[in-house]
Amino acid sequence: MSSFDFDLYVIGAGSGGVRASRIAASHGARVAICEDSRVGGTCVIRGCVPKKLMSYAAHFAEDFEDAAGFGWTVGDATFSWETFLQRKDAEIDRLNRIYLKLLADSGVTLHEGRGRLVDAHTVEVDGRCYTAEKVLIAVGGKPVKPDFPGNEHCLTSDEIFHIPHLPRRMVVVGGGYIAVEFAGIFNALGVEVHLVYRGDQILRGFDADVRRVLAREMQNRGVHLHLHSEIASVEPAGQTLQVQLQDGSTLETDRVLCATGRVPRTDGLGLEKAGVYVNAKGEIPVDHDSRTNVPHIFAVGDVTGRVLLTPMAIQEGHAFADSQFGGRYWCPEHDNVPSAVFSQPPVACVGLSEGEAHTLYEDIDIYLSEFRPMKHTLGGRESRTMVKLVVNRADDRVLGCHMVGDDAPEILQGVAVAIKCGATKARFDATVGIHPTAAEELVTLRKPVRTGH
């Protein structure tokens, strides 16, 4: 009989932590998990899920406009932010209950409160200590604000889902996926949106053509992009906020959303007492088994700084539990991981960007097409879709696929399987397209638009 209270203690009940605890318990381990917020984590409670629901709500604005081109007469359409909040909150509550039930049905003990390590085998939660043979850290990340005067008047992505009223104007600070998603959503809901970003183009780290096309499409939809620009200060001005930019110009707005990145929630975890190494970014480095520098302490998800995606955290947690408690050793693969940006229009990609491919391969071919989707020929919208393939000329293997346009995330999930399997451009060419669709463009790209050395 083990002298520990539990075989595994998980700190953090987000997607990765919940999956790891459930799988470990299914293998017969005695498991406990703690959470200082709501079970479900960032994705379910204040991230992917409510954001996607908000994105769906925003898309109806264009659908109502486009319907006229297809013969529909649509009456005056109005949007109720308050009704949406009620429906959104009810769905989040439902998912939270599901996660709680999953833990209970799996036999996992839930402790509500912030957990911290007292030593290498002891976790304290609200003054009570529990010992465990192995510890898994799955605390995720949290949003951060830039350091400028008046940032206390700004929202982060944690609070944006709960503002009581839809603002008339909004300034979004940042150029990453969270910033462009919320900028597009609120713009579609009728808010005047100004996106302020210090870089030369939005979505740093994404393929250059993706960045170019999305910026164009966002501007065509009415989002005001302020590139090479930073906020100097934010000051209340009656019922509004006065945003001073570093170039001396000002923006008057009702809300300011800071979407400038996230950091791991490692502060206050007592990692130093357990001897767990944390790097300068606050991340916990781990090996391919998700093991920290302390052999019996592991970490999964965003806190590790690897691939910051919920499905990746789930896979890491599952692999950890199978390997450590189920006698089934396997490692998650962190290459060719597909991802999406639920912008307006959405972005999806898998594999290497053109720039990344240039650094790794001697000769590459770029296949690219921009076109007006059939839906917009009658709807009258000028929006254009882009699809792009990055191919290694030496062996014809498709290294990356990128898409900007309606349904891009739904389309690229299947393409990701092909790329994961090492599909060649010849296999893409030999595949019959589904006509008429935007997706068929991926198998009809015949001539490269450029080559690279």
pLDDT, tens digit, 9 for 90 and up, residues 235-245 = 999 999 999 99
Domain stop point among 260, 275, 292: 260
Q: Which two tokens stand for residue 87?
A: 């429906």
CB of 118 within 8 A of CB of 270?
yes
Strand order in the sheet with 231-237: 231-237, 240-245, 250-253
Question: What mean pLDDT comes out for the span 193-198?
Answer: 98
Question: What mean pLDDT comes out for the span 147-155?
Answer: 97
Domain stop point among 291, 325, 359: 325
Question: What mean pLDDT comes out for the span 132-159?
Answer: 97
Checking if the pLDDT of 452 tops 80, the result is no
135 exposed, middle or buried (CB, 10 Å; 0-12, 13-18, 19+)?
buried
Tell whether 180 is covered by a domain. Answer: yes
At residue 74 the predicted structure's pLDDT band, cuts being 50, 70 and 90, is: confident
On average, the pLDDT of the chain sits at 96
Residues 41 and 136 in one domain: yes
Looking at residue 1, its pLDDT comes to 54
**Which residues, 6+ apart, have CB-to-CB distance to 358 below 8 Å?**
364, 452
Question: What mean pLDDT comes out for the span 95-101?
Answer: 96
Q: Which two tokens stand for residue 307?
A: 């691939």
Ramachandran area for residue 162 (φ above 0: left; ψ -120 to 50: alpha; else beta): alpha
CB of 406 within 8 A of CB of 346?
yes
Looking at residue 453, its pLDDT comes to 66
Domain that holds residue 124: 6-142+263-325
Tell whether 356 is covered by a domain. Answer: yes
Angle (nearest 5°) at CA 214 between 211 and 217? 150
Residues 158 and 253 in one domain: yes
Q: Which two tokens stand for residue 25?
A: 């318990």
Residues 251 and 167 in one domain: yes
pLDDT tens digits along 119-142 = 999 999 999 999 999 999 999 999
Q: What is the CATH number of the domain that holds 205?
A: 3.50.50.60
Which letter does DSSP use for residue 227 in this model? -
Residue with tokens 């609070």: 159
pLDDT tens digits along 327-370 = 999 999 999 999 999 999 999 999 999 999 999 999 999 999 99
| Total of domains in the chain | 3
The one catalytic residue among 27, 334, 435, 453: 435
Question: What mean pLDDT comes out for the span 78-92?
Answer: 96
Q: Which two tokens stand for residue 82?
A: 């308050």
Q: Which two tokens stand for residue 447?
A: 């001539």
Query: What is the SS3 assignment for 52?
Result: helix
Report how many helices (DSSP H) and strands (DSSP E) the chain contains, helices first.
12, 22
**Annotated catalytic, 358?**
no
Residues 14 and 136 in one domain: yes
Looking at residue 284, its pLDDT comes to 98
Checking if the pLDDT of 31 tops 90, the result is yes
Question: What mean pLDDT comes out for the span 435-440?
Answer: 96
Residues 181 and 52 in one domain: no
Q: What is the CATH number of the domain that holds 372?
A: 3.30.390.30
Q: What is the pTM of this model?
A: 0.95
pLDDT tens digits along 308-317 = 999 999 999 9
Question: What mean pLDDT comes out for the span 401-424?
Answer: 97
Question: What mean pLDDT comes out for the span 71-81?
Answer: 92
Residues 132 and 10 in one domain: yes
Checking if the pLDDT of 410 tops 90, the result is yes
Residues 281 and 314 in one domain: yes
Tell whether 62 is covered by a domain. Answer: yes
At residue 371 the predicted structure's pLDDT band, cuts being 50, 70 and 90, is: very high
Question: What mean pLDDT comes out for the span 385-399?
Answer: 98
Residues 155 and 211 in one domain: yes
Cis, bond preceding 345 (omega within 30 deg of 0): yes
CB of 178 within 8 A of CB of 55?
no
